[in-house]
Amino acid sequence: MRIDDFHFFATIGEEMNLTAAARSMGMSVSAVSRRLTDLENRLGVRLIHRTSRQMVMTAEGLLFLEGSRRIVHEAEVLRADVANSVDSERGTLVICGTLGFGRTHLSELVADFHRAHPNIEVHLELSADPFDLENSRFDMLVGVGAAKDSQLVYRRLLRNRRVLCASPDYLERRGAPHSIHELRDHDCLILSEHEPDFNLWKFELDGVITPIRVRGPLRCNDGDTVTRWAVQGHGIAMRSVWNVRPYLETGQLVPVLADVPTIRSDIYLAFPNTELYPLRAQRFTEFLQREIPKRVKSPDDFFGFS
């Protein structure tokens, strides 16, 4: 059954006259009669006894009419609720994010947003690869340096670069590299996420992307673990400034080759459709655009990269 079948029969029940029902639905009387017969055939019961003078509902017809009216009413209420939710600061937002940025910043931003908009319920789902769309149901994604997907619309929230860093203890033992090529002789801590070739670190020298293949004894798919290894003196890590800034400020980590910028790894907001964009999603977008630059300073400010 289709929803218009219920609407069709509810209209006939209101009019109890094929001519009046046909006029109400903008159809011919013969078309209404054929559709009614088709509906009865699909149900396998007679709904209305029809003569040239009158129409009389059967017991099955009365039962189907009552159900049709209820279904049409519930469908209209649902349509109105959905339409109103688009223009209301109520409802649920499902937000997907990367593990590292989600734990460090997005989780607190979501909590702050809910505090300002208590009628909006937020479901935050963090994963290593939130841009894997196969089994995802979401309203928006917040990702770092993620590959673009043609199904999504992107807005850049913040320019971002990663930085090489190591503990003073490691640099005292092994010495600091003076060029990216000397990284081949160092213990590099490998983060195995996002990039297809984890051991290939990329830099931007005079506008040219320069890859360097590095090696190291430790590898992990969790960025916080790689950061801790760097703090503990196990090697050189390439991490986003928003992740390691506290350690840089306290001196637990020291920038390595600070004058050589890595390739950009910007923070993006992505969503499926700009035309069907509920007000609650617009409010969260505005909130992120306003609050992320305050909370997560650009590494360009920290190192002077352009």
pLDDT band at 303 (very low <50, low <70, confident <90, very high): low
Which residue type sits at 225?
A: T
Average pLDDT, the chain: 84
Reduced to 3 DSSP states, what percent helix, strand and coil does the chain have, rounded to the nearest 5?
A: 45, 25, 30
Tokens 């080759």 correspond to 257
Q: What is the pLDDT of residue 41?
A: 93
- Contact between 101 and 146 under an 8 Å Cβ cutoff? The reply is no
Is-contact 132 253, C-beta < 8 A?
no
Give the model's pLDDT for residue 171. 95
Q: Is the pLDDT of residue 193 over 60?
A: yes
Q: Is 1 helix (H, G, I), strand (E, B) or coil?
A: coil
CB burial of residue 188 (10 Å; 0-12, 13-18, 19+): buried
Q: What tokens appear for 48 in the block?
A: 């209305």
- Per-residue pLDDT at 82: 66
Please report how the helices 279-295 and 107-116 are oriented relative to each other, as an axis angle in degrees rounded to 10. 130
Q: What is the C-alpha separation between 140 and 101, in angstroms, rounded?
A: 15
Residue 273 has pLDDT above 50, yes or no: yes
Q: What is the DSSP string of 100-164?
A: HHIIIIIHHHHHHHHHH-TTEEEEEEEES-TT--TT---SEEEEESPPP-TTSEEEEEE--BEEE
Q: Which residues have CB under 8 Å from 9's CB, separation 6+?
A: 36, 39, 47, 64, 65, 68
Give the containing element (helix H, strand E) for 21: helix 18-25
Cα R_g (the chain), whole angstroms: 31
Over 50: is that where the pLDDT of 306 sits? no
Enter the pTM of the model. Answer: 0.62
Strand, helix or coil at 209?
Answer: strand
Note the pLDDT tens digit of each residue in 220-265. Answer: 988 889 999 999 999 999 998 888 888 998 999 999 998 888 887 8
User: Each residue of 110-140: pLDDT tens digit?
Assistant: 999 999 988 888 889 887 766 665 545 778 8
Q: Do 94 and 63 touch, CB atoms closer than 8 A?
A: no
Determine the angle formed by the axes of helices 3-15 and 59-86, rounding to 10 degrees: 120
Query: Could you tell me the CA-to-CA distances from 263 to 74, 162, 181 in Å, in that order?
Result: 54, 8, 16
Distance (Å, rounded) from C-alpha 125 to C-alpha 144? 15
Residues 284 and 95: beta-carbon distance below 8 Å: yes
pLDDT number for residue 172: 94
- 154-184 tens-digit pLDDT: 888 888 888 999 999 999 999 999 999 999 9
Span 196-200, average pLDDT? 79
**240: helix, strand or coil:** strand
Rounded CA separation 291/282 (Å)? 14
Considering the chain, what percentage of its residues have pLDDT values greater than 70? 86
- 36 membership: H or E segment, kind and range: helix 29-43
Distances (CA, A) of 7 to 3, 50, 63, 76, 200: 6, 20, 15, 11, 62
